[in-house]
Amino acid sequence: MSETNTGRRTRSVTAEAMAERRQSILQHTLQVISRQGVEGCSFAELSEASGFSIGMIQHYFRHRERLIGAAVEYQIEESLAEWQRIYDQGSNAMERLHDLLTFSIQGDTPFEEAWGFWLQIYSAAHKNSEIRESVAAVWTSWRGLFVRALEEGVEEKLLQPAIDINEVATLLLATIDGLAIQSLNGVHSLSPAAMIETLHRFAAREFGIDAEEFILTKRSKLVDAH
């Protein structure tokens, strides 16, 4: 291998390692925000949680505001990619709606950690215009997936909502946020599984379909698939 090619390969591996280190810092930042909130996410706290030195963290993000902004954007991009993947996997509108509702409470990340992050971000949004804009953007994208699935369901004659589907989508997101935040704040003791079933029943009534069929038909398909 020529010296030039060796040099290029070395630089490529180094760039990959740097990208992985940056991603690791952001992932630990999300965890710290979930536990301590935005105000409690300092370089010192992050260094203790991640094992990276404060100097290393500053090398990648320079100041705390840039770190927080990058962490929020990272989580939004990851979430939107996962939501889109779940949407695309459904074979029809009802499967998409069922799976989107399920994932809103129970995804790959444990409920307390995932929603702990969003609760802290929601809380910080009214004081920080950049975070507020990010929250508004992700809410709009999330709502858009529900609207698309609802439109498909109406076209396919799989559901018959009594109100405009845009209102239905807004109500679904409000219910998701409310149940999750109330749970984290100890207002009710519903488990994630119980919250998912509550969402499914509420959604079925708004869709104008049988709640038991909406829940059990999809679950039986998932069981058969495994």
d(CA 147, CA 143): 6
Q: Are 159 and 93 in contact (CB under 8 A)?
A: yes
**Structure confidence by residue, pLDDT tens digits, 209-223:** 999 989 876 654 544
What's the pLDDT at 220? 46
pLDDT at 3: 47
**CATH assignment of the domain containing 16:** 1.10.357.10
| pTM across the whole model | 0.81
What is the C-alpha separation between 86 and 134, in angstroms, rounded?
22
Please count the other Cβ atoms lying within 10 Å of the Cβ belonging to residue 207: 24
State pLDDT tens for residues 102-137: 999 988 888 998 899 999 999 999 888 999 999 999
Residues 6 or more apart from 143 whose CB is under 8 A from it? 169, 170, 173
- CA quadruple 217, 173, 160, 158: dihedral, nearest 10: -40
How much is the pLDDT for 14?
85
- Total domains in the fold of the chain: 1
Print the domain residue range for 69: 3-225
What is the pLDDT, as a whole number, of residue 91? Answer: 87
Point out the residues of the chain with pLDDT beneath 70: 1-13, 217-226
